[in-house]
Structure 1
Amino acid sequence: MTTSDDEFRFLATDARDVGVTGDLPRVERMSLTLEDGRSLSALRFGDAPPAVTFVHGAGLNAHTWDSTILALGLPALAIDLPGHGDSSWRTDAAYTATNLAPDVATGIRAWASGPQLVVGHSLGGLTGAALAASAPELVAQLIMVDITPGIDPNAGAAQIRAFFAGPTDWASRDEMVDRAMAFGLGGGTREKTERGVYLNSRVREDGRVEWKHHFAHLAAALAAAPEVAAQVDAQQDALSEILSTTGWNDVAAVAAPLTLIRGEHGFVTAEDAAEFMGRRPDAVLVALPTGHNVHEEAPRSLAGTIAELGDTRQR
Structure 2
Amino acid sequence: MPADDEFSFLPAQAAAAAAPLPRVERRTLSLPDGRVLSGLAWGDAPPAVTLLHGAGLNAHTWDTTLLHLGLPALALDLPGHGNSSWRDDAAYVARVLAPDVVAALEEWTGRPQTLVGHSLGGLTAAAVAAARPDLVERLIVLDITPGVDPSAGPAQIRAFFAGPTDWASRDELVERALSFGLGGSRAAAARGVFLNSRVRPDGRVEWKHHFAHLAAAAAAGGSADTGTPDAVRAVPTETGWEDLAAVRTPLDLVRGERGFVTAADADELLRRHPGAAVHALPTGHNLHEEDPAALAALLRDIIDGR
TM-score range, shorter chain: over 0.9
Q: Partner residue of 1:148?
A: 145
Matches within 5 A, 1:154-193: 155-187=152-184, 189-193=185-189
Is 2:211 the counterpart of 1:212?
no
Alpha-carbon distance in 1 for matches of 2:90, 2:217:
13
Q: Is the 8 A contact 1:50 1:112 kept in 2?
A: yes
* Structure 1 residue identity aligned to 2:119: S
Alpha-carbon distance in 2 for matches of 1:290, 1:256:
26
Alpha-carbon distance in 2 for matches of 1:150, 1:233:
21
Q: Is the 8 A contact 1:202 1:211 kept in 2?
A: yes
Is 2:58 the counterpart of 1:61?
yes
Quote the RMSD (CA, aligned, Å). 2.1
Q: Partner residue of 1:283?
A: 276
Alpha-carbon distance in 1 for matches of 2:66, 2:226:
37
* Structure 1 residue identity aligned to 2:197: S
Alpha-carbon distance in 2 for matches of 1:9, 1:51:
25
Is 2:122 the counterpart of 1:125?
yes
> Equivalent of 2:285, from 285, 292, 305?
292
* Structure 1 residue identity aligned to 2:156: Q
TM-score relative to the length of structure 1: 0.92
TM-score relative to the length of structure 2: 0.94
Deviations 1:48-99 (A, max 9, x none): 0000000000000000000011100000000000000000000000000000
Q: Is the 8 A contact 2:288 2:295 kept in 1?
A: yes
Is 2:42 the counterpart of 1:45?
yes
Deviations 1:145-192 (A, max 9, x none): 0000022578421111111111101110000000000000012x1000
Deviations 1:262-296 (A, max 9, x none): 10000000110111111112111101000000000
Write 1 or 2 for the structure with the bigger share of helix.
1
> Equivalent of 1:302, from 285, 288, 295?
295
Alpha-carbon distance in 1 for matches of 2:103, 2:96:
12
In the alignment, structure 1 segments of 5+ residues that lack a partner are none
Alpha-carbon distance in 1 for matches of 2:46, 2:113:
10
Q: Is the 8 A contact 1:263 1:292 kept in 2?
A: yes
Deviations 1:164-222 (A, max 9, x none): 111101110000000000000012x1000000000000011111110000000000000
Q: Is the 8 A contact 2:162 2:212 kept in 1?
A: yes
Alpha-carbon distance in 2 for matches of 1:154, 1:91:
24
* Structure 2 residue identity aligned to 1:217: H
* Structure 1 residue identity aligned to 2:194: Y
After the TM superposition, which parts of structure 1 deviate over 3 Å for at least 4 consecutive aligned residues?
Answer: 152-155, 231-234
Alpha-carbon distance in 2 for matches of 1:69, 1:268:
23
Q: Is the 8 A contact 2:162 2:216 kept in 1?
A: yes
Shift of 1:5: 5.2
SS of residue matched to 2:201 = coil
Aligned residues: 302
Matches within 5 A, 1:1-315: 6-20=5-19, 22=20, 24-151=21-148, 155-187=152-184, 189-225=185-221, 228-229=223-224, 243-312=236-305
